[in-house]
A = this chain, B = another copy of it.
Amino acid sequence: MTDPTRIWKAALLVIGDEILSGRTQDKNVAQVATWLNVQGIRLSEVRVVADDTKAIVAAVNALRTANDYLFTTGGIGPTHDDITVDAVAEAFGVGVVIHPEARAILERYYETRGGLNEARLRMARVPDGAELIPNRMSGAPGIRIGNVFLMAGVPSITAGMLDALTGTLEGGLPVLSATIGSWAIESEVADLLRETEREHEGCAIGSYPFFREGRVGANFVVRSTDEAVLEAVCQALTIGLNALGREAVAGGI
């Protein structure tokens, strides 16, 4: 039987010059992170690398061995800058083959859209031994090889692929979280936060300051896999903040 306290970890590798140039604001990190939480899998690290085979191969091998799962986004389209499949095949030391099912999917998809040309057939190429991840949004499927999941870079298509994977991966207890806000300056309540975290095993408290309407405040995010611990920490923080004259706002500000 699997250890129920085991923490399952995943990494995300975002592949694309457009993120590193600042042209495109990434949306996939937050989307994948939120989805993983629900699966009981913790996102332990993200890397963003350029459309560069050497950089992708190095990152794939570092991250797939250090984590239970590795997800990649980007670089699986039909154009010359889409090199993820080749790089992942190289990382695994396998060749690249045309996946017959992917070819059939693309043939159906492009039947009424001008037919399957050479560029489109590129999207049926997979590392040898890979399976497909269904894609409801557009023709080209995602790809799974070992513990690595290759997904699209366009966030709406990534979302569809994550949806197809929902409930199929083994995970542990989901991390529960609760937020308490206060119009407090972080440095006024630092001791309270530190002590509260220390006194409750199995919890983590993050402190996130903000400036709003000309005033300074902070949200305190409590995380635990144990609901009783979560509640005890929230109660302790609420009592502590109120005692300092900084009203605790359940749910955050």
Contact = CB atoms under 8 A, between A and B. Distances in A.
Interface of A: 14, 16-27, 29-34, 36-37, 42-51, 55, 77-81, 113-114, 117-120, 122-123, 154, 156, 175, 177, 185-188, 190-191, 193-194, 197, 204-211, 221, 223
Nearest to A106: B187
B55 A49 contact: no
B45 A45 contact: no
Nearest to A19: B29
B47 A47 contact: yes
B47 A46 contact: yes
Nearest to A207: B79
Identical chains in the assembly: 2
Q: Which of A29, A55, A117 has the most CB of B within 10 A?
A: A29
Contacts of A119: 186-188, 190-191
Contacts of A27: 25
B81 A205 contact: yes
Contacts of A210: 154
Given A18-B221, A34-B22, A194 B79 contact: yes
B18 A208 contact: yes
A219 to B, nearest CB: 9
Nearest to A44: B50
Rank and list the top 10 A-B pairs by shortest CB-CB distance, nearest first: A22-B33, A119-B190, A22-B34, A46-B48, A80-B194, A78-B187, A79-B207, A119-B187, A120-B187, A20-B43
B21 A177 contact: yes
Given A18-B221, A29-B19, A24 B208 contact: yes
